[in-house]
Amino acid sequence: MSRKKSKASWWSPLASCFGRGDKVSQIRSKKLAMKQKSLQRLSFSDVSHSTGMLSPEDLSISLVGSNLYVFTLAELKVATQSFSTSNFIGEGGFGPVYKGFVDDKVKPGLKAQSVAVKLLDLEGVQGHMEWQAEVIFLGQLRHPHLVKLIGYCYEEEHRLLVYEFMARGSLENHLFKRFFAPLPWLTRLKIAVGAAKGLVFLHEAEKPVIYRDFKASNILLDSDYKAKLSDFGLAKDGPEGDDTHVSTRVMGTQGYAAPEYIMTGHLTAKSDVYSFGVVLLELLTGRRSVDKSRPSREQNLVEWARPCLNDARKLNRIMDPSLEGQYSTKGALKAAAVAYQCLSQNPKSRPHMSTIVEILEPILEMDDIPTGPFVYTVSAENGNEEGSGKTKATENGQHHHGHRHKRRSPRSGSRSETLSRDVGNGLHRNSPRHLRESRAQITTKELCCK
């Protein structure tokens, strides 16, 4: 079933239900605003109505304490040079992302800074709901390891998000894309620890949040390789009271989603722990969670790597060759053991994220890292650092922020595939239009058999 509808056909009826005229919704929003002033985070259900869709007015009233800026489309056009191709950063499931610049000329009090503007390619209410979830969750959650949402634009059919600009883009790019220098061991660990701290914050909040879409492309890196989680469109409030899980439609990304979640739709914080284990494996091996271009028994990273994770003699077989052996063997063993536990079939056997941080952080101090010679040459004539035969220096490439600048061999593998299934109702398409064709709809059976 195509979700694509004309702007008017999806917007108008809902606008008439939830627009300015809806007194009930306005009273409700004001109540929510009061609740928010009491510094309690609003859950998604607190904010959402029966169909969950808020009008621009209701959304801004609900989020009154969150310091989010509400931009106009015209302001964001100026910020991004009319969404010019030279400002284009990349494109994910929801639409293109552009670099921009804002300052207090755009909004009084706004710090002068680079921003990333995500333009949602809306195709229906579900697209709006994920956009709204992102605004509601990220608008209220602030932590050094979560990307900062600066504001949004909600004008007619337009939905945009304005984030702090993350200078080094996504972990996915650094691990898997050509022309990026291989990440050194300590940088990989620093990223794993940072992302894990982001999950600890979510899981241990007064009102816990399950992130549900932990994957390499959603881990963004600042200029110092500090990792921050982005994309809260699939985030869910954790179970309340005596409940052990929340029941949801199964959504996430193939290769990262926990097996019991795919089978039952029961979502717990341990589903995020499984996904963390997959990303940790990607960091250790330099391989994608699913890579259809590899021989069949190597396509599913977890299945391929699992037998080697708890075996000191086998571990080096799966470590990323581009590390060239320059990692702490003790540290790699510990990290692999963590990954093994995270990837346990039984969610109860998986560690809590705080335990994972406690184990991974000390590995940053382990200095049994072999230093390999890195040879480069200096021109005898002009002193340029390339071109003639004089050997000059060595470098171990293990500084947190240092990289050995060499071109890496092209890594294959297409984007991960988004999965979406109504529990008990078979498959349900929910991915945006431009990824729709390329992202396979996958059944539980297919996932389990890989």
Ligand X SMILES: Nc1ncnc2c1ncn2[C@@H]1O[C@H](COP(=O)(O)OP(=O)(O)OP(=O)(O)O)[C@@H](O)[C@H]1O
Phi, psi (rounded to 5 degrees) for 170: -95, 155
169 binds ligand X (CB under 6 A): yes
Q: How far is the CB of 131 from Mg ion (least distance, A)?
A: 13
With beta carbons less than 8 A apart as the criterion, state whether 47 and 62 touch.
yes
Q: Please answer whether residues 181 and 403 qualify as being in contact, where contact means their C-beta atoms are separated by less than 8 angstroms.
A: yes
Residue nearer to ligand X on the CB measure, 149 or 315: 149
> Among 133, 166, 183, 309, which residue sits at the site for ligand X (rule: CB under 6 A)?
166
Residue nearest to Mg ion (CB): 231
- Residue 231 contacts ligand X per CB under 6 A: yes
Strand 390-391 relative to strand 113-119, pairing: unpaired
CB 248 within 8 A of CB 224: no
Tokens read off for 78: 């100026």
Rounded Cα distance, 29 and 363, in Å = 47
Q: 197-226 mask for ligand X (x: CB under 6 A)?
A: --------------------xx-x------
| Residues with catalytic roles | 213
Name the segment binding ligand X (CB under 6 A); options: 162-170, 176-184, 328-336, 375-383: 162-170
Joined together, the tokens standing for residue 138 give 């990220």
3-class DSSP assignment, residue 429: coil
Structure tokens at 25: 């919704």
The binding site for Mg ion (CB under 5 A) comprises 92, 217-218, 231
Is residue 151 near ligand X by the rule CB under 6 A? no
The yes or no reply on residue 257 touching ligand X (CB under 6 A) is no
Give the Cα separation of 311 and 330 in Å (integer). Answer: 12
Q: How far is the CB of 84 from ligand X (least distance, A)?
A: 16
**What distance in Å separates the CA atoms of residue 262 and residue 283, rounded to the nearest whole number?**
24
Nearer to ligand X, 220 or 278 (CB): 220
170 binds ligand X (CB under 6 A): yes
Q: What gap in Å lies between CA 434 and CA 436, rounded to an integer?
A: 5
Q: How far is the CB of 282 from Mg ion (least distance, A)?
A: 15
- Sites for ligand X among residues 88-127 (CB under 6 A): 89-94, 97, 116, 118
Q: Provide, rounded to whole angstroms, the least separation between the CB of residue 253 and ligand X.
A: 6
Amino acid (one-letter) located at 47: V
Which residues contribute to the site for ligand X (CB under 6 A)?
Answer: 89-94, 97, 116, 118, 147, 163, 165-166, 169-170, 217-218, 220, 230-231
